[in-house]
Amino acid sequence: MITVLIADDQDLVRIGLRALLESEDDLAVVGEAADGLAVVELARRVRPDVVLMDVRMPGVDGIEATRRIVADPELAGTRVIVLTTFELDEYVFDALRHGASGFLTKDTRPAELLRAIRLVAEGEALLSPSVTRRVVREFADRPARVPRPHPRLGTLTDREREVVGLVGEGLSNSEIAERLVLSPATARTHVSRAMVKLGARDRAQLVVFAYQSGLVGS
């Protein structure tokens, strides 16, 4: 059973999400919250597998709530899916930087939302290559940024650094394999090793590390 905590300041949204999730045999809603502070406190009590996190909430917003949940060692098994109104919401990159496993727009079809919850609960990142590319493009259009290399960047091999840069560009394992003339299995191995070395929770965080370290486009 996958346990889910719903965080949204709109009653109708929470009611709709609860009805959808409770119609599935393998999903259980273990709580609801209408503001960021409440969702953090509730998460610490019920320790859900997945939090559906709205961005704009009163008091502590969804970005700060995500940061607090991800930073709590007792919630190491909890994953956060950020819900946004627009795919290029100005908060999306911050959400990923603070440890969200991905994001969905609020007009996502029910079947896709259910699939996303199950995917994230298994430890995968909810960040498709096409969506990654849009986030990357949006971030790249902002004023010049100063790279902040990851402290463990030096532990990567040259090939792993190259692979992380391609992950940051939004390439899938198959696309990385084609670009570098590798087998898909080898590309997947490089990605996995880089995640372990950099302490990335999932592929979404690896994208953030790539950007912060200046590996994208390098």
Asked if residues 3 and 51 have their Cβ atoms less than 8 Å apart, the reply is no
**pLDDT reading at 143 higher than 60:** no
**pLDDT tens for each residue of 159-214:** 999 999 998 887 888 889 999 999 999 999 999 999 999 988 777 778 878 877 88
**pLDDT reading at 130 higher than 70:** no
Query: Greater confidence, 140 or 11?
Result: 11
- Please give the Cα distance from 194 to 7 (Å, whole number): 32
Asked if residues 61 and 36 have their Cβ atoms less than 8 Å apart, the reply is yes
For the chain, give percent helix, strand, coil, nearest 5.
Answer: 50, 15, 35
What are the phi and psi torsion angles at 48 (to 5°)?
-75, 160
Tell me the average pLDDT across 97-110: 82
Task: Using alpha carbons, select from 51, 156, 30 the residue that is nearest to residue 98.
Answer: 51
pLDDT of residue 104: 82
**pLDDT reading at 116 higher than 80:** yes
Ranking 104-108, 113-117, 187-191 by mean pLDDT, the lowest is 104-108
- Please give the Cα distance from 125 to 121 (Å, whole number): 9
**pLDDT tens for each residue of 10-63:** 999 999 999 999 999 999 999 999 999 999 999 999 999 999 999 888 888 898
- Please give the Cα distance from 213 to 167 (Å, whole number): 13
